[in-house]
Structure 1
Amino acid sequence: MPAIVNRLQSPRGLAIFLLPILMAASCYYTLAQLSSHPPIQNRNVALLIAHPDDEAMFFSPTIQSLVDPSLKNTVQIICFSIGDAEGIGKIRQDELLASANLLGVPDVNNSVIVHDHPHLPDSMGKTWPEDLLASLISDSLREFKEYNGGSKVDTFITFDEGGVSAHPNHISLLRGAKYFLRHYPKEHDILLYTLNTVPIYRKYLSIFDAFITTLLEKKQGGDEEEVYSGTGAPKSAMYLSNWQGYRTAQKAMTEGHKSQMVWFRWGWITLSRYMVFNNLVLDTDRS
């Protein structure tokens, strides 16, 4: 006993003793906060992504949650390029289908649409035209409506103005979605959720950023009305994967997107918060 007391009196010993307690407390707090968030359910969802692998690198927790049969969602993916910057677009297109299948998206041959338009190049230096994106969204939704037996998409999920990595193609999707909602009046009731971009020092905190996110939300008044008026849909949604979900997200990259597994992406799939945690915000600004 004296030896234990002596160890606790040293800064290192005290840190070793307190660390498991603090980790357990943060996990308990995070799970308690997440449990109070209603999920997106009973919706026909279209995920708008820019490149094959976006769905796995950024939206895995969301996709795996939405396809849970108990939530009664349909999930479709619209990808606006084949990712042909390195001349392997056809390979990447096939990899997207493999990844979506691993993530649980049903019937990927009908529920995933990949566009290959010359004015939408895979480029860090190119902003995509909003009107063209809106036109392709409209075409895609018609296809999904036929596939869904007449049920139309009522929910979009895409990147926010930060685009996670400030990629102009990612950011263009939000603007294209808003252009579509403004200029296609029959579709004005579609809900738009965006994936929250966090500062770079939080991107690589993995699961620990879930605790930071819930803490910040509580501080900013997260106990307001959670449901968007007249829709029954949540104003925000948080999805935290368990170990199996995290490993599935990794497999979507390592087994699905084999061509993209260059050295730095191993760091991403190991440390990125987006591989294990997503928080979405309902965007009601149509400007």
Structure 2
Amino acid sequence: MSQHDSRRAGESSSCSCSVFDGGESGAAVVTLVIAHPDDECMFFSPALEALRRSGVRTTVCCLSNGDAYGLGRVREKELQRSCETYGMARADVEVVEDKRLRDGMDEEWDPAVVVTHVERHCASVGTTHLLGFDEGGISGHPNHVACAQALVRLRSSSRPVWVQRTFGGPSQYLGALQLLLWHAFGRRKNGVVACTLATLVPALRAMRRHGSQLVWYRYLHLLLSRYVYINLLKKL
């Protein structure tokens, strides 16, 4: 085996995303449903990096442009650049424009409206699998929770839905320690997408594309958050 082949094999074993099977067609198309630009790299980086390394086409349906502070247009461009880090074409990254889906902790979204936009996106790209938040929304943000409620309505036998489990308390800040524990004890659990410490590199690279959001606690999140190192997915 050549050095290049050995390196590729090492990447595959350390960053696996086997839960996404293309079925009879053999060509999976995974759509990540998020509420705001930067959700993709803050909460789903291990899964996105695994999909990139596996050569699976991945698309993003972002339900708002994060315009809570008037930076919506800037954040749209930042999302495009961030997703390029994970090998996505710009045409596969959609930012929804709908006045009913405004960014904000006080904004309550109708899940039915979210469903309409996600269904349209899925039809346009040929989605075979959906990926997103669980009912806890990771951070409890109401916009995240609305996306989760929409995914429950969108699940079907022909288009599986996988969601990232929410962890509260200190366990969400175990970061690299959580990854080491998984390598030691959790390898046989289905639905786990874990990477080596090198996963931090694409997450940092993607987050740097979100220049308007780069404040000190974002870096702290990337260093400590379990979601940067490991995604524990469950099937709805």
TM-score surpassing 0.5? yes
Whether 1:250 and 2:230 are equivalent positions in the alignment is: no
C-alpha distance in structure 1 between counterparts of 2:103 and 2:173, whole Å? 25
Displacement, 1:210? 3.0
C-alpha distance in structure 1 between counterparts of 2:35 and 2:207, whole Å? 16
- Find 2:103's aligned residue among 105, 122, 128: 122
Say whether the 8 Å CA contact 2:82–2:207 is kept in structure 1.
yes
Structure 2 counterpart of 1:132: 113
Structure 2 counterpart of 1:161: 135
C-alpha distance in structure 1 between counterparts of 2:200 and 2:31, whole Å? 22
Q: Percent identity?
A: 28
Say whether the 8 Å CA contact 1:204–1:271 is kept in structure 2.
yes
Amino acid paired to 2:198: Q
Amino acid paired to 1:195: Q
Call closer, same or farther: CA 1:123–1:35 in 2, change over 3 Å: closer
SS in 1 for 2:191: strand
Q: How does 1:119-268 map to 2 (within 5 A)?
A: 119-144=100-125, 152-181=126-155, 189-212=158-181, 236-254=190-208, 256-268=209-221
C-alpha distance in structure 1 between counterparts of 2:167 and 2:185, whole Å? 12
C-alpha distance in structure 2 between counterparts of 1:180 and 1:172, whole Å? 12
Structure 1 counterpart of 2:231: 278
Whether 1:90 and 2:64 are equivalent positions in the alignment is: no
C-alpha distance in structure 2 between counterparts of 1:198 and 1:212, whole Å? 15
Displacement, 1:154? 1.4
C-alpha distance in structure 2 between counterparts of 1:260 and 1:37, whole Å? 29
Amino acid paired to 2:174: L
- Find 2:44's aligned residue among 59, 75, 82: 59
Unpaired segments of 5 or more residues in structure 1? 1-33, 145-151, 182-186, 224-235
Call closer, same or farther: CA 1:216–1:119 in 2, change over 3 Å: farther
Structure 2 counterpart of 1:269: 222
Say whether the 8 Å CA contact 1:46–1:153 is kept in structure 2.
yes
C-alpha distance in structure 2 between counterparts of 1:41 and 1:73, whole Å? 10
C-alpha distance in structure 1 between counterparts of 2:43 and 2:225, whole Å? 9
Displacement, 1:262? 1.3
Q: State the structure with more CA Rg.
A: 1
Structure 2 counterpart of 1:23: none
CA RMSD, Structure 1 to Structure 2 (Å)? 2.4
Unpaired segments of 5 or more residues in structure 2? 1-13, 23-27
Structure 2 counterpart of 1:77: 60
C-alpha distance in structure 2 between counterparts of 1:72 and 1:143, whole Å? 20
Amino acid paired to 2:220: G
C-alpha distance in structure 2 between counterparts of 1:45 and 1:248, whole Å? 19
C-alpha distance in structure 2 between counterparts of 1:241 and 1:175, whole Å? 28
Say whether the 8 Å CA contact 1:131–1:180 is kept in structure 2.
no
Say whether the 8 Å CA contact 1:103–1:249 is kept in structure 2.
no
Amino acid paired to 1:165: S
Call closer, same or farther: CA 1:217–1:270 in 2, change over 3 Å: closer
Q: How many residues align?
A: 219
SS in 2 for 1:93: helix
Say whether the 8 Å CA contact 1:135–1:180 is kept in structure 2.
no
